[in-house]
Amino acid sequence: MLNTKRKKIPVKYIVIIIIVIIMILFGIFSYTLKEDRKLNVVESLIKDAVVGVQKVVYAPFNYIFNLFSDFQELEKIKEENDILKTSIDRNSAIETENIELRRQIEALKEELNIDYVLTDYEYLNATVISRNIGYWYNTLTIDKGSHNGIETDMVVVNSTGLIGKIISTTNFTSEVRLITTSDTNNKISVSITNGENKLNGLINGYDYENKTLEVEGISNTEEVAIGDKVYTSGLGGIFPSGILIGTVESINTDEYDLAKIINVKPSADFDDINYVSILKRKSDK
């Protein structure tokens, strides 16, 4: 007669196996959840293929949605048009000044023998395909990839200010990490402009309660006022200088009363991002 009795595995072994599996999984997660993990060839191909299908599937919905939103915006556009008409004269003066400043910069670059300055960058426009599924990842997927010259760490902005940076690319898509991520590994160097003064600090993270960015590294003796504009400083090598981040909303001091902790209200609306521009520093060439 066959022995049909199965050997029972002792509970302690099962517990050990489960613990080992959990540890292995966490090891895998801590490796694969690294921001700088590059997608492998298979992942890139799958992502490109699915996003290609998504674009085709979404096209009619996007068309209808855009029709409705265009219609809704008509009223607003009329008002904006009246305001714009009044500022056209001022713009031509600014443009003339801009041309003159550019000419001076070029002359200085030539004189000092440098190829680029921190404000030099080129724009590349992209459409958002999907965003932030599952909430925690704080990312957007855009329809431009390495095929279009996009690389990791490039800066992403929209018409209102800084949005984030590229964290991974496939041939035809890229993943953008928003600056509202409380990621202490990615501090952004910023300048706070108060009249003639220009103070440098670092964005230390995002405060989800107050919906503000926290800027640190500014001495308590320095003068900062509520409403001051905050721009990227260009230091650190990733973000070009002069990109608007937001305005100072409140000012506190650290526990030792030595440095200021400045809460900055971002200028970009992170809930409503449909089109973005990717900035390519000229030094990236």
What are the residues binding other proteins (CB under 8 A)?
25-26, 28-30, 32-33, 37, 39, 43, 46-47, 50-51, 54, 57-58, 61-62, 65, 128-139, 141, 167-168, 175, 178, 180-183, 208-209, 211, 270-272, 274
User: With respect to other proteins, which residue has the nearer C-beta, 39 or 251?
Assistant: 39
User: With respect to other proteins, which residue has the nearer C-beta, 183 or 284?
Assistant: 183
Q: Minimum CB separation from other proteins for residue 274, in Å?
A: 7
Q: Minimum CB separation from other proteins for residue 144, in Å?
A: 16
User: With respect to other proteins, which residue has the nearer C-beta, 141 or 233?
Assistant: 141
Q: Minimum CB separation from other proteins for residue 217, in Å?
A: 20
Q: Minimum CB separation from other proteins for residue 200, in Å?
A: 25
Length reported for the chain: 285
User: With respect to other proteins, which residue has the nearer C-beta, 180 or 233?
Assistant: 180
Q: Minimum CB separation from other proteins for residue 253, in Å?
A: 23
